[in-house]
Chains A and B, each alone.
Chain A
Amino acid sequence: MAKALFHILIFPGLFFLFIFGFIAEYVDRKLYARFQNRVGPPWFQPVADFIKLMSKEEIIPEEADTTVFKLMPIFALSACATAILYIPILGERSIFSFNGDVIVVLYLLTIPTLTYFLGGWYSRSVFSMIGAVRGLTQLFAYEVPLFLCILASALLADTWSLSEMVTFYNHHLGYWFCNILGFAVALISLLGKLEKVPFDIPEAETEIVAGSFTEYGGRLLALIRMAFNIEMVVGASLLAAVFLPFGLNLHPAAIFLLYLIQVFLIIAAISFLRSLFARLRLDQMINLCWKYFAPLAFLQVLINLVLKGMLPR
């Protein structure tokens, strides 16, 4: 019991994720700024922002559904935080691992988008509603390639458990190379999940103010921002676990260090990608995902199916 509580609250649960989320946000913002030839924020900026938002008044629109409006940020945060428990970050085994946890993690990572939709929809503001609908429409576009890529990797490893996938790839180091196409597609899909440029359509500032979060402020907005940070960390951890399974036979401290490096590499890739592009339009984004990324993900599945029969196990 005490051990479970420790896992949920301290490591790798909320406390760890909060700290990691702050650092990830800082790294992302700083790198994004440097790519744009700006100075960027100081290291404590994410914490300062969080404290400032936490100390602000909570304003809820009169017409909004108070319960849903207040609950949704907490739902988003807890869904992201739960997902980390099933991702192996220290060595080959996650804290709670079972056969099929890869699907649970993917679903847990889908929940935040749904909560943003509900929160935005029940804000009853036109900007929020449009943002909410856009978010949901976008979900159907990026989710399929992302799922397919991760499932393709699972296919090759012949297991539905993340931990076993990691073990498999760790023992067949050369095989990760087969998944490189899947990794690229999954990374771009992750941009859609995190609502970052070029897929920041649901919160396109110049069109619909802040999308679903237009009416949010104070503590609730702080929670939403935290949920995004944690989603970024968890998403990066998932990609690191599935696609970059290196050196897991080392000392635990070295493994942890390696894990951090992998996650930060993926975050750096995200910042780099988002400084490169203009925001796409919703129809263009859906076209792109269904015309190019989904077929590429299917190709990855096909490759892995063929390889599975050919390669020695």
Chain B
Amino acid sequence: MHEPGEVKIPIGPQHPALKEPESFLINLHGEKITAVSVRLGYNHRGIEKACEERTYVQDLYLVERICGICSHSHSTCFVQAVEEIAGIEVPARAKYIRTLIAELERIHSHLLWLGVAGHEIGFDTLLMYTWRDREVVMDLLATLTGNRVNYGINTLGGVRRDINSEQKEEVLKAMGILEERTKYYIELAQGETTVVKRLAGVGILSYEDAQRLGTVGPTARASGIERDTRKDDPYAAYAELDFKVITSSHCDVYGRTIVRLGELMESYSMVRQIIQKIPDGPISVKSPRKIPAGEAVSRYEAPRGEDFHYVRSNGTEKPDRVKVRAPTLANIQAVSKMLEDRYLADMPIVVAAIDPCFSCTDRLIAIRDTERKRKNTVPWETVRLKGIEWYKMQGIDFTSLNKKLTKIF
């Protein structure tokens, strides 16, 4: 305790409000928040480095696992960058299938978010209802791709699975059910007094602040910024689809809810258009194992906002550098702004309202020496050696295996 009446409370790294480890240290005066300090870096997995050790096709499966929810977003974003370097022209049908999965993913992500938001404001009934309805789209994804979460549908030069007319019927049927349910949720979000009371006026982020802090996705759109990669820089089949960019001028958590619910309705109409317009033809073209030297940037509108991949190749079958900027990294800065002068009770919903995905965001670990107040950066080789030593201590030794492998190659 510092000043009288001021309490420091740690939300995280482990806390029921957070689904992933992240630290929010909150200074509290009574019920009011006076200061927030956010600390990232509890969930660093070294995926970018690991990508450099694998071939492009292996990387596809690795980047798909950056995020458990927007898995298709990352894999599409990556594959688009690689295809651009290699100069591969993806068939139209493949582009439509990619878009279809992307929109279905948005539907399942937004429904999941609605449930989580309900839970954060203590409305568990909403959580149970939305997650039940989310099963419809999850089952649909399973029938279309074979998996509920990591679809593995992308490949270099197209997609791996085609859809048939039976599946098209199923998709249309599911859209009907979901549209009905979403209308009910829109009514609920606008009509249920306790929900409106907990959401309206909470976590305000003005248009200027949203611009200045570089927010993306529904967070930006709820502050009135018309920013949507699908419209601004169309990829896949989005240029041929008719859809609106949903914005709101509420600038608060309520606005973010309305934007996401509106996007759900847009997604249903987009899926219907895709089913109607999908052209015949091959679903993939052959791609070379070795990608020519070059670099490319790819942008993609993930459910949480703009996803950004940078790939640099050196003419081998492994990338030279892969850089991922997940949407949460762009939005996390806005959280401290949103929490200014708010109550502790608003903290979970404000954090949840950017739909955070912390493990996707974490790019490095900074080791802090709290006694000497100094940051420490450890070079890659040291980390590697430490890793080998740690495994030796656990009784796992790779040295003999490594020798054998070097003999073979």
Q: Which residues of A approach B to under 8 Å, CB–CB?
A: 35-38, 126-127, 129-130, 134, 197-198, 200-201, 204-209, 275-284
Contacts and interface: CB of A to CB of B under 8 A. Distances in A.
Contact of A282 (B121, B124, B125, B343): B343
B132 interface: yes
B347 A207 contact: yes
B192 A278 contact: yes
Given A126-B8, A198-B122, A283 B194 contact: no
B125 A276 contact: yes
Q: Is the interface of B mostly helix, strand, loop or mixed?
A: helix
B5 to A, nearest CB: 11
A37 to B, nearest CB: 6
Given A204-B345, A209-B16, A36 B7 contact: no
A284 B197 contact: yes
A37 B194 contact: no
Given A35-B125, A129-B7, A282-B31, A201 B195 contact: no
Interface residues of B, number: 32
B348 interface: yes
Given A129-B7, A130-B28, A209-B16, A278 B195 contact: yes
Contacts, number: 83
Given A36-B125, A278-B121, A282-B343, A198 B16 contact: no
A280 B195 CA distance: 9
B17 A207 contact: yes
Contacts of B120: 206
Nearest to A282: B31
B119 interface: yes
A284 B198 CA distance: 9
A165 B198 CA distance: 40
A201 B9 contact: no
Nearest to A198: B194
A280 B343 contact: no
Nearest to A129: B7
Nearest to B119: A206
Contact of A205 (B8, B16, B129): B16
B103 interface: no
A277 B194 contact: yes
A283 B201 CA distance: 14
A208 to B, nearest CB: 8
Closest 3 pairs (CB-CB, A-B): A279-B122, A278-B123, A36-B128
B9 A281 contact: no
Interface in B188-237: 192, 194-195, 197-198
Contacts of B195: 278
B160 interface: no
Contacts of B16: 205-206, 209
Contact of B123 (A129, A207, A279, A284): A279
B122 A206 contact: yes
B346 interface: yes
9 contacts: A126-B7, A126-B10, A127-B9, A197-B124, A206-B16, A206-B122, A275-B124, A278-B121, A280-B198
B44 to A, nearest CB: 25
Nearest to A209: B16
Nearest to B352: A206
B368 interface: no
A208 B343 CA distance: 12
Contacts of B277: none
Contact of B122 (A35, A278, A283): A278
Contact of B9 (A38, A126, A134): A126
B125 A281 contact: no
Given A126-B7, A206-B16, A281 B128 contact: no
Nearest to A199: B122
Given A206-B16, A275-B125, A280 B31 contact: no
Contacts of B8: 126
Contacts of A197: 122-124
Nearest to B351: A206
A130 B121 CA distance: 18
A130 B128 contact: no
A35 B128 CA distance: 10
Contacts of A204: 122, 345
